[in-house]
Each structure stands twice: as structure tokens, then as C-alpha cells.
Structure 1
């Protein structure tokens, strides 16, 4: 921990002139200034102060830098509001809130909303600074407003291409460059018409087109949203299963027998903080699962191997779904042992052998037991009739 509180100063493109007196004083009194080359160039030289440009990768080097200069007054320069998708949050996590003083500027999101006339509490903010563009998928809904933090000059073109591919090419697409700086520029087109070079420091505003295709974040996506070989928890069963798993932001799911990945993916689509590990023994299915996760915009960690052996050493889960391999020796014991207190275990069975195991565990630890039967209308000659799918037994229990 530094001898004095480390100060984090938010800097806008207008640089030194835009800093409040408190922020200017923090920069001038620093013995060590840290930041990106662009940020350091925005403030005047300070006699006797060392200037350190962030190394790459920063996450690995940062603890060492702080330790090296712990006995000196450190000022870190950041963009806009340092605790909004910024390094301020990282420093607080490393050093503690009492060791860090943050002097913020308006964030790029607040500036973008001010220019667009949008209410900040009614927009979804997404960062592509360190995330793939596919993370936009769960948030593309008709009429929704998105503010996207760009990685660089190429990001607007990547986002526009994704919008067109998803049927949102008519969406209003605004790129805001160098906000609050002397070179500020705002350009607005339809996403399908975007074809401009932009400054690396940019933010994107998207007004999603009405009437575009809907892939809701409510559990139960259409089955054809998934590439699969038949190993797929069907839509209606999936919706009921996820209601029993009860996704909670920040919690971790184990999806045992991942197949096409539908349970892990829809758990993760519930909230960006939901995490999932999918276990799949077939390498080809595991690759397919990864493609489905990317196409539907969520990060899922796929483990290739056979449960329960492969579960050893994994982070303890808050919820477990056993959708395949339930009859493997020791499966239920391993899952029940790994599950955190208060966690949910859900097992689906379509075979008598799996139902026997489910009945035994239901008798031993209780829970809720449901049999779900689904019938779908289909052609019967020139008419329409009901065709039943195999019934599914769903056992759910809270530890």
C-alpha cells in the first residue's frame, strides 16, 4: 500500500484545461505519474516527477509497479470516470478503498448521452475494450438504446457489420469521437450505411431498429438458435429447467453433459455477470458448443472430458445441471459434494435408469420432482395432430 493515498485523476480529451483545481494540484504534487502515453501527453511536465507509461499486459505488471513506488506520491491518469470501466476499480480492488482517492471527470457514457439526448438510466452500456464484438448479441432488441465503448478505430465497422448480420441494419448508428475535446466529431447513419474512418477514441450509440428479429434473454430460445446434432435440451424443457436453476448475477453454473450448450448459454444470457462451465466429453460437440456461445454472445468455459472425474479442481458452483451422464458412477455424489450451501441442483432424465437414481436422491435429500410432457402440432396426412415428445423427469433441490 502506498505511503499516501494513491490519487486517480480522470482526464478528458480537453486535457489540462478541463481539470478541476483539485485534479491539477494532484498531478502537480505527484512524485510518480502513471498512465497511457496519450493520457500523459495531456498534462504538462511536472519537475522531478517520474512518468511511467503503462506496460502491456498491464494486469500482470501493475502490482509490481505499485510495490516499486509504494513510498512515493503516485498519481494515476485515467480516461473520464476512472471507476466506470476504468483502472480506478482495479486499483481499489488491489489496495482497498481507503488507499485510493478518485477524482473523476464525466464519463464517455455521460457525455455521449448528453450529445444524443438519451436518459442514462434507460440505456445499456457495453464495453468492447477487452471483449469480442459478439457480446452485443444478447442486448440487440427492437427499440433498445445501447452505448458501446470502443476498443479502437476498427470497432464501429465491426459493430455495424454485426448489426447488419443480425437484421438490425436499419438501426440508427452514431459514432462520437474525441468527446469534449477540440477535435470532437459526431456522425450518424444507418448501421448498414456506415463506412467511415474514425478516431481511435470513440463511443458508439445504437438505437436498435423496431421490427428486427428477437432473441430474448428469457429462457427458452428457439431450438433452431443452436447448431446441434440432436443433443439439445428442447425449448420448453429448457425454460422449466432454467427456472429451477434460478440464475443469479455473479454466480457460477456447472452444465454437465453440455451438448449444444443451451443451458449454460441461457444461464449466461440472463445477466452479463452470470458465469458458466460446460462439461462435454465429445470434442466435436465441445467445439459446436463454443460456436453457439459465441454466436449468442456469451462467454462459456468449456471443459472437454468425462464427469465426474473432470470436475475435480474446478471452482465450486452455485448451481449444477446434470443433463447427460447422470448414470456415471459417483456423478450425483460428486455434484452434491461440490455444490455450495444454498446452491441448486437440477437433473433431467428421460431413461428409466436415470429416473431410478433421481428417485433415490429425491428420497434422500428431498426437493421438487416434476414430469414434463410436451406435444407439438404437426401434419397428419392433410390434417394436423399432436405428436408427443419423450417425457422428461426434472428433479430440483436446494442444498
Structure 2
């Protein structure tokens, strides 16, 4: 008896086709077949215009904003053969992610085209694995600042014709005026063009909206050097004295132990320095800074923008009340307000098993409270003392900063 053939895999509901500036001629046979056989063609107006009349499907441009429209458009055309057009590689800062989240990977067939990263590195002779990528499509220009380090190569996915001038202005403001900027327009297409210059003197008018920027980062020798590690200089922050100082901040971040994708609550944000440096550890880190003083809350936002992490969420309000409704944290830092009734309880209860809590204080009252919690829940109680050398007449002596008591603890599964 001949065995029955194995069941065939279900036909994907949506085919996602990457397309470049070279349009139809640059597509593979499989991509062309998918587009010719689609009953519905979804994409941006520029992408749809690249298709020839032979593609018979109904052409549906994405509305703006795009992401909320994805479920509605898919529902409207359910049961029909749908092809979605994407720029380059759909899974590289493209629509492929949103579709995967909506439908699941098994419902998609993705046919990628070379990405802007691949095209640009091929033109420039840059190794892809050594090139930092920052997308400014639908994102603030300030996020580029965190990637600026002397000697690094950064590729910027542009939001449009105005992006090169905005990037040049940011580079000048952050002390990277000597950086070489190359604007690669219409990569891979017949109208491909490169504009070249320095950030310090960039005065080019807006060009083609389809562009990618390549940056050879060079820091002005007079500009401050900002490390990728926690413990930035105190003068990197705008503050009114409410600042976790550099050496204590580095020790605090080490105790908080950030990892990609994790969320920090920074309670009593002050200048936001701990949350900012948590976010600078990895681009997928997330943070909420809670600060009751509106002026300080605004200052936290400015510091986050300046240091390249504009995604920091700032909540203006007094804890513990302001913590209500926040997403569950992986770690909590309490830098102020420890003696507020119910604050430690609220932070502890919010943590999942394995979550970390770090609290710093300089007062005897708060220190006594931390000692009580240490006896109840364990962890480490540490005294951090920092002294700086200062002139004493014609000599040099030590000036002691106020010692900081720090409690750090990981919540176990049995604790509550």
C-alpha cells in the first residue's frame, strides 16, 4: 500500500516582497510571480508606482499612521491573495515585523531584497558586521547621539529629504563637527547619487527623500568624550544638585545589572542619570523615570535627548501613587523619597521573581529603613564612600563626599 503523502503546509496568507530603487527589473522571478498573482497589492505610493501595469491586483496604499492600520487592512482583504511591498529587506526596520506580530511567522512568506545597509556597505567598502545602524524613520533624531563615538562608522536610515541637515546639526551640537557625511540617494537604482561633506560645514539643500547617510564619526578634540560604560562625567548632565554622582552611579548600575529588553523604574529621578545610563547600555533597554517636581521632570527629558536616549518615559508625580498603572519592571532604583509611606512596599510588590531592587540614601532615617528591609529580605547592604583630592593651601588633601548607603537585592520566588 502506498503511504499517504504528508500534509502540505498551509499557504501563507500574505507574501511580503522587498523592492529596491531599481524597481521591477531588480526583482527575482519568485517576487515577480507573487506580485503578478496577487489580488491585493499593499504598499507605499512610491513602491506601488514601481510596479508595471501587468500586475492586476487592486493597489491599496498604506494610510498614515501605518502601524494601527495593519489589522484593519488585513481584515478587509481576508481570504484574498495579498502581497505587501516593502523597501529592501522587509525584516530590517521594515513592515515585516509588524506583520509577523499581527499574523505570526507561519502566515507570512517573505521575499527580501538587499537592504539599504547591504547596498551602502557595498558602495563604501564597509564591513556590515562592523557598521552601527540607527534608524530615524519615525524616530527622533536625538537617538543618534548614543551611537556617536570617535572612529566609528554609523549608517543612518533617513526619514526623508530633511534628515541630512538635521543629522549635521546634531553632530555639530554634540561635538562631532569633523565627521564626514555621505548621503547615498536612490541606492541601487538608475538615479543613484552620492553627496559628500563635513558636518561642520554642511549646507547642502534637501535632496532626494530616498536616502541613507553614512557617517565616519570624528569628535572635535575640545568636545567631551562620553564613554559607552556607566559612570558618565557629572557635567554631562544638566542638574540642580539632585544627581547620583559619577562613581556612585557606576556602582548603582552594576548592582541593577541591566540586560537587553529589560525595564527599569527610576523612582525619584532627579536628573534622570541612572535611567539614562541604563538605556545607554543597550538600545532595547527600557526605562521609566518618576519625578514629582515638574522642573526636574523636564530636565530629565532634556538630558535623555542630549545623551541619545529620547525613548526614556518620564512620569511627573509623587511615588508611590505615580507608580500605579506602570508596566511591571525588571529592576527598580530608588534614588529619593525612601521614607514616603508605602514606597518600598509598592516597588517590592511590583517586582517579579528575579527582579532587582537598588536603593541609595545619605540620611540616617532612610538608612535605618534599609537595614530593616535587609534583615527581612537579604541582599547586600553597602556603604559607598568617595573622596576627591583638593588643594589645601600649597598642598593637596582629601575632601570626603557624603557616604551613600546602598541596599541591593534580588527578589526570589518565595518572597512576597
1:1-399 aligned at under 5 Å gives the runs: 4-46=12-54, 48-196=56-204, 197-209=206-218, 212=221, 213-298=224-309, 299-399=311-411
Where does the alignment leave 5 or more consecutive residues of structure 2 unmatched?
1-9, 412-416
Distance in 1 between the 2:374 and 2:286 partners?
27
Structure 2 distance, partners of 1:277, 1:66, is 33
Contact kept? 1:3, 1:70, Cα under 8 Å: no
User: How far apart are 1:3 and its partner, in Å?
Assistant: 7.3
The 3-state SS of whatever aligns with 1:58 is: coil
**Structure 1 counterpart of 2:5:** none
TM-score normalised to structure 2 length: 0.94
Contact 1:3 1:71 in 2 (8 A): no
Q: Within 1, Cα distance between the matches of 2:242 and 2:83? A: 55
- Give distance in 2, aligned partners of 1:115 and 1:228: 44
Deviation at 1:105, TM superposition (A): 0.5
Q: Determine if contact 2:35/2:55 at 8 Å carries over to the other structure.
A: no
Q: Contact between 1:4 and 1:72, CA under 8 Å: does it hold in 2?
A: no
Tell me the TM-score normalized by structure 1: 0.98
User: For structure 1, which segment, 192-201 or 16-25, has the greater mean C-alpha deviation from structure 2 after superposition?
Assistant: 192-201
- CA deviations 1:140-160 (Å, max 9, x no partner) are 111011000000001011111
| TM superposition shift of 1:349 | 1.2
Is the Cα–Cα contact under 8 Å of residues 377 and 386 in structure 1 kept in the other structure?
yes
- Give the deviation of 1:229 after TM superposition: 0.7
- Is the Cα–Cα contact under 8 Å of residues 176 and 184 in structure 1 kept in the other structure? yes
- How much does 1:137 deviate? 1.1
User: Residue 3 of structure 2 aligns with which residue?
Assistant: none
